[in-house]
Amino acid sequence: MPTGVAIRDARAQLFDAAERILLRDGPSALTSRSVTTEAGCAKGVLHRHFSDFDGFLAELVEDRIVRVERLGAELRDKAGDATVPDNLTEALTGVFETVAVAIVSLVTYRDELRARLRQQRPVGFPILGEATTLIADYLAAEVEIGRVVTTSDPGLLAATLIGSAHLLFADRTAPRPETAAVHTMVATVLGGTLTSCNTETPPNRSLTARTVLTPPRPPGSFSDSSGHPQERSPTAVSIDHTNLSPAAVVTALCAEWRSGTPESIAEFFTDDAVYHNIPMAPFVGKAAILEFLRGFIGAFGGIDFTVHHQAVAGNVVLNERTDRFSLGDKHIELPVTGVFEVRDGRIAAWRDYFDMAPFTAMQQNA
């Protein structure tokens, strides 16, 4: 064949060539000519199999999503074997060493590709969303087996692991992170959610007791007609604030919000902390934050967080999440971006950015 590429293998060779270019030179170097040159075939081969270049890239992304889903099936089958941190370290490395970093940079760089993918996947970021799901499914399996505590939240832990792993692997020009660094990150995020059923003790465990991440509860189930919270108790967690990573601090704080008392939640803040819902005036100092917590929990009975993505830069943690709460028989789901500054294992500043209109409408109609 003049092109030198068998028809049966052309798609796979072109996909692999594109991925190598992405990892080596970045998305700006990706063209139809560079791909066919890298693959060792004529330019016409690409256009013979795909409608146009963005069509080729869209199918590349879909192909890599299938690969990630295959990794997820393999990870799920490992539930109960080795240790949880070991299995997650291997899986995250497999996802991020090649597939995830390459695809995330590509989708971010090309607007037309992003628009095409949105037609098929209107919610979530390609690869990262699937990777989060596969990690959550694996953790749920480990919960059933008994190696992860039953009160943990696999979805929240998975989002934290994916965000942290992405930060470790994101710089394609830097050396790949060592396995030990990935393992330490995994063990730190999981913290006290691991039970004694693991065959070896994970290194650098930051929580000396389990972090309780309760499943979503019915809206308003923790407040009575007088507005006083009921059935809330601090989670069974003992925190070594000097060793806890910023990501683990935020994860534990989100857990405490769901079932803890105002006093137990306030313990996550420094004495001079600032809590600021951006449309409102900030609460400055732990005492002021505690009073806010008492009023909020008295009125709304607490809050449920669903964290979709979480990332860390130094002592700053950013998460994208959905907050769910109620006032009377009115329920609301509020998309929020949170920025947390962590100092010595406690929250020094917490800023939430969101559209105030849905919240205001709920108050007016309650």
Instruction: Give catalytic residues, as residue numbers.
Output: 323, 352
**Edge-to-edge order in the sheet of strand 304-313:** 283-284, 269-277, 346-353, 330-343, 316-327, 304-313
Q: Which of 189, 195, 164, 190 is nearest to 80 (CA)?
A: 195
Q: Which of 255, 254, 262 is nearest to 232 (CA)?
A: 262
- Whether residue 71 contacts residue 88, with contact meaning beta carbons closer than 8 Å, is answered with no
Which stretches within 26-176 are classed as H helix? 32-39, 43-49, 53-77, 84-94, 100-109, 111-120, 128-145, 154-169
In this structure, what token pair is assigned to residue 208? 């000396």
Length of the chain counted residue by residue: 366
What DSSP letter does each residue of 295-316 carry, written as one string?
Answer: HHHHHH---EEEEEEEEEETTE
d(CA 181, CA 172): 16
d(CA 254, CA 281): 22
With tokens 């306030």, the residue in question is 266
d(CA 334, CA 146): 33
Q: Give the type of residue at 4.
A: G
First to last CA, the chain: 72
Bridge partners for 331 per DSSP:
326
